[in-house]
Structure 1
Amino acid sequence: MGKVKAARHHPYSVGTTPSLRWAGVEGQIALCDVTGGDQPRISIRGDRAGEISFAIEDIRYLRVAKEFGRTTHLRCVIARNGGTDVVLNGSAGLEYPALVQRLSDELNALGRPNRIQRGLRWWENMIHLAIFGGLCLLLLYAPYDTYVTYGADWRQTELLIAGVLALAAFLGLIGVLSLWHRWYRVRRVEHAADLARFWT
């Protein structure tokens, strides 16, 4: 996914999240330094107080995502070996794309391209499918159940209304599954353009 870029002379600026505050990084902005070489590291410090630092090798996976239905709300989950997950808020940091690309470059340089992922966490995927998919299935079932119970007495207009409602629910279900498949399901990032979809 591209060559490793030269070391920066100033830190990347991104937004903080509760996970960073729990790790002791305080403030509205997180300043992230990435050092390259044989043992690359990332240091994250808050604009108010606190800092954490760990080796890029310790990243179990780097997962980029967009929040439910909020195409401008970006975030990156960094799952660490021997440490809690930290989340970077891309919506509040103009340098978020450059930071994520730099981290992915470093993982590629370490021979760990399989650790670069896109999508939501498993429980977020389940919530999306259960709530929105379940609601569409319920709305799809309702006209059918009503027709079985009362359909013998329906006029053509009532049948048409039930058909339109069922079609709308079916199209809604297709939309929910399409949204999940495109943005939310977890999968490996295959190339730089695939990663860049989350901020272009």
Structure 2
Amino acid sequence: MRPASVKRRARFQLTCLHQMDESTAHARRGANRTTTRGPDRRIASFAALREHWREDFVANDSSLFRPGFIAVANYRFGVWAFGIENAVFRAPLTLLYVLIYHFVKNVLGIELHYKVRVGRRLRIGHQHGIVIHRDVQIGDDCLLRQNVTIGVSRLGVPREEVPVIGDRVEIGAGAVVLSPARIGDDVLIGPNTVVRRHVPPRCRVLPPDPVIQERRMHPARA
């Protein structure tokens, strides 16, 4: 890598770290506006539900059999069904949602409750091991890969400290985002990364490089 490229990369990393420290201090002072706002998860009509389905279908490779699309489609269905005012009409639809929810959770390994605030066009790359706390907020055009956990670091965490994910955020396989993290827009979180700090927009969060050591081979026994 050229020296100029190294300097630019180091400058970018230092800028992100400085912004992360400022973001953390700003949130601790109670001035982070993303703690109380998030995507409007209400789906007021069946026509709106169909539009959400259409967008999610395209975002998940235009396939009805993608586990990610099945999970997101049932999530949208649950948001719509629980918003119906007529109890007689609502009861069978919510029961159907619950049955599909447990299928998606226990068979496909994707735990996405209808109380989560999810923006538009959520893409789930691969199934299994995905757990999302029901108070989490996720923005538009986000990508989640397998074995992603977004939740709280301990029991009894206040709702306003549950993680908030911005727009166009990509979370790699095996990553964990815990309270009180706030993830800005256009952030890339690398695989197997544990995030508990606030991350400003347009930054990358990567795990440390693995340690490569020489392997000592034992002589074969006679």
Question: Shorter chain as normaliser: what TM range?
Answer: under 0.3
| TM-score, normalised relative to structure 2 | 0.23
Q: Which has the higher contact order (CA 8 A, sep 6+)?
A: 1
Bigger Rg, which one = 1
- Structure (1 or 2) with the greater helix fraction: 1
- Structure (1 or 2) with the greater strand fraction: 1
